[in-house]
Amino acid sequence: MLNTERLRIYPASREQMEAMIASEQEEELKKAYTEMLEGCLRHPDQWDWYVIWIIEKTDGTHIGDLCFKGLREDGIAEIGYGILEEHQGQGYATEAVQAVCRWAFGHGSVYSLEAETDEGNTASQRVLEKCGFRPNGSSGEEGPRFTLDRHDTAEETRGRIWR
């Protein structure tokens, strides 16, 4: 479990993931959650790199989730995240992304983190920028891609991520 000033962030159990899949109404999110669970089951030794990470306020209120999309052999992991609409605009996404970046770079095998966001999702792009991610000039299925390298956290982004 990762703890921040206002949040608890932790990997879901198989049972929690199955419950999230069963209750999800949005087909695209249901498909993504199912793919995450399948990744966990295929790679049980890398569970944390495929699982849904639950984001809660310290009072236990569920406010969102995030995930990694596996850890590639070259030390690159992609991160995705979402905060429920009623909790957006309060800095929770930034706080959660900072915490998981610290966690990820604490693993010696992680050299870079990537993220992708919809072209028009300026709020998500701003979260990434506040966390030290930089546009890398490429686009994926969802839109522009952003990168944060381990050496960046030791230099210009230290104040943002390594608090």
Verdict on whether the full-model pTM lies above 0.85: yes
Average pLDDT over residues 90-106: 95
Residue 89 belongs to domain spanning: 2-161
Instruction: Identify the pLDDT of residue 151.
Output: 79
CATH code of the domain containing 15: 3.40.630.30
Q: Which residue has the higher pLDDT, 5 or 140?
A: 5
Per-residue pLDDT tens digits for 144-161: 899 999 876 544 444 454
3-state DSSP: the chain helix, strand, coil percent, rounded to 5? 40, 30, 30
Look at strands 76-83 and 112-116 and give their pairing. Answer: parallel
* Neighbouring C-beta atoms of residue 69, cutoff 10 Å: 18
What total number of domains does the chain contain?
A: 1
Query: So what's the pLDDT on residue 6?
Result: 96
- What's residue 158's pLDDT? 45
143: left (phi over 0), alpha (psi -120 to 50) or beta: left
What would the mean pLDDT of 98-122 be, rounded to a whole number?
Answer: 93
Separation CA 34–CA 37 (nearest Å): 5
